[in-house]
Structure 1
Amino acid sequence: MKKHLLLIMLWSLATLAWAQSQTETINKTAGFKNAGGAKVLSVENIHGFVHVEAYNGNTVELVAEKEIKANNQQEVAKGMQEVQVKLIETADSIYVYLDAPFIFRKKSRGRNMNINLDDIKYKYQVDMTLRVPAKINLALSTVTEGDVTVTGVTGDLKIRNVNGPLKLTNVAGKTDASTVNGRIDIFYAGNPPADSEFKTVNGNINVHYAPNLNATVSFKSLNGQFYTDLNDVEMMPVQVIKNSEGRGSGTVYKIDKKQNYQVGKGGPALRFETLNGNIYLKKKES
């Protein structure tokens, strides 16, 4: 009984530590100054999800839900003032990112970022939901407290997470998807037209390909297996790579340990890698 009472008291103290909170809804709309050519949207979050959905429009619409928690209202107010959602427009690119005194960048924007939380006495989270044109290239990332999802985008995809999953639905572009602790789920409306990579450390990788897949597939998993429903598969010869430096008067050759498989007529390289998890490559259900 005393043990249960102690646990209840500790839980109550933990709840009281973040007894104060405040939320804010931030709406931003941006367009591309250059009407023609490729368009890029870069979103860099830290604590919170990033959800992107294509729609029949030409602008990028952002709704960000910001929440600050602290043990007193003074720290909540400080967090509300310090944590800001920034948006920058250029001719063919839009950049969305978090800005705060404890976030340090080598440039005004970009992914060279350091975070110093030593003096922060509040907890912050920003959940970002965006509507974008379908034909757009995406570079999305978050670190924790949320997933990254994309729906209906046909451009190139560079998607990053650390502690959370990735889910891409009805996409059709070159894909670079990576997380550390989380699964990857991808449903292609059109197969990737260029080399693509899918990596996680702890989690399964599930890729659902569109009909008539032509690709070169390789996979690597230390504590997992590769499963597929592909029928038209042929094992390719092991690749031997010439070392241009050489040793002494001879030439050194390196054998690539990854086994490659030709699917259909062959084509873009699809590389799958996980440490603790299985890899599934199967046809998308209609």
Structure 2
Amino acid sequence: MKRLFIMTCLSLGVGMLGATAQKKEFKEVIKKSVALANDVNNTLVVKNVFGSVNVEGYNGNEVVLEVERIITAKNAEDLELGKKELQLQVIAESNRVILHPDAPYIEFDKDKLRYNWCNNNEDVPYEHKLNFTLKVPNSVKINVSTINDGDILVKNTNGESVEADNINGGISLNNITGKTKVSCINGDVDISYAQNPKVASRYYALNGDINIAYQQSLSANISFKSMNGEMFTDFDINKQFVKTSKNEGEGDKPKFKFESRPVVQIGNGQVEFDFETLNGNVFIKKNNKS
């Protein structure tokens, strides 16, 4: 029985490899420039689904795009459908540029910057991926995300905020400034600051470590919550205490949730940083590069 089972699995595996080998593929690189003034009030938004997002700041007044579009399908007919349907959407406004994949089955809410996945449950007969490589004015705010098949990289920006979300991939923010909000479900988070954030920031990783390097002048209260992780730092800790918060419910019969988190104070504790993991550690280090 064991031998028969193994042979069956091998046969299935060969069949799957054969099906994969027969897939048709189309690739192209979309190149475009979109005007966006190098102003702290402006924002770049990238809401990807499949693929990576790489953003680099520079001293210019345009978003320079190189987007690799990849379509794969089992046959030529489905491949042509994918090439026709799946497109790059570029929305240029006076104070922001929004980039996202677009297709008849994708509904994107421009105001809330999110997708509505409930309107079309039909199976799409092709696979698609957009890999973004962008140069952006370095003073603008950054808001980027992806879901599958790619990592997020943001580097050399000095805007007021960076927001990054990834479901199945890592997040790297290198040599950045400003308020930071990151959420990573299955992957590590790596961050280094050219200047420490001056306002409250939040860092979340469900299944992965958070590695973060602040400038040595750090002055912050750092709260930490984890089920299976620990926090480590090479900064001197002035004191430790517990922060308690109360979240109120809604309706006629409100429910109250009380939560306590350990807090370590570094420096004078001038800003609040909140860290949370489920299965991962947090490493807070001094950035020796200035």
Tell whether the 8 Å contact from 1:240 to 1:253 is kept in structure 2 after alignment. Answer: no
For 1:184, the equivalent position in structure 2 comes to 189
For 2:175, the equivalent position in structure 1 comes to 170
Tell whether the 8 Å contact from 2:245 to 2:260 is kept in structure 1 after alignment. Answer: no
**Shift in Å at residue 261 of structure 1?**
2.0
**Shift in Å at residue 107 of structure 1?**
4.9
**Shift in Å at residue 12 of structure 1?**
2.7
Cα distance between partner residues in 2 of 1:100 and 1:244: 38
**Shift in Å at residue 89 of structure 1?**
1.2
For 1:195, the equivalent position in structure 2 comes to 200
Tell whether the 8 Å contact from 2:24 to 2:74 is kept in structure 1 after alignment. Answer: yes
Letter in 2 for 1:67: I
Deviation string, structure 1 residues 102-130 (Cα, Å, up to 9, x no partner): 11234588214326463311011110110
Tell whether the 8 Å contact from 1:147 to 1:165 is kept in structure 2 after alignment. Answer: yes
Gaps of 5+ in 1: 246-251
Q: What pairs up with 1:125-140 in 2 under 5 angstroms?
A: 125-140=129-144
Count of residues in correspondence between the two structures: 278
1:119 maps to 2:123: yes
- Seen in structure 2, the aligned counterparts of structure 1 residues 117 and 51 have a Cα distance that, compared at 3 Å, is farther
**Shift in Å at residue 230 of structure 1?**
1.2
**Shift in Å at residue 58 of structure 1?**
1.3
Deviation string, structure 1 residues 172-212 (Cα, Å, up to 9, x no partner): 11100101111100011111111000001100011111121
**Shift in Å at residue 30 of structure 1?**
0.8
1:38 maps to 2:41: yes
Q: What pairs up with 1:264-275 in 2 under 5 angstroms?
A: 264-275=267-278
Deviation string, structure 1 residues 49-101 (Cα, Å, up to 9, x no partner): 00000112111111110011111111111101101101111111111111101
SS in 2 for 1:194: coil
Gaps of 5+ in 2: none
For 1:96, the equivalent position in structure 2 comes to 99
Deviation string, structure 1 residues 29-62 (Cα, Å, up to 9, x no partner): 1113x67551101111000000000112111111
**Shift in Å at residue 262 of structure 1?**
1.7
Letter in 1 for 2:69: K
Q: What pairs up with 1:76-95 in 2 under 5 angstroms?
A: 76-95=79-98
SS in 1 for 2:114: coil
Task: Give the TM-score of the pair, scaled to structure 1.
Answer: 0.89
Letter in 1 for 2:267: G
For 2:231, the equivalent position in structure 1 comes to 226
Letter in 1 for 2:27: T
For 1:6, the equivalent position in structure 2 comes to 11
Cα distance between partner residues in 1 of 2:68 and 2:101: 12
1:279 to 251, 261, 282: 282
For 2:32, the equivalent position in structure 1 comes to 28
Cα distance between partner residues in 2 of 1:244 and 1:97: 35
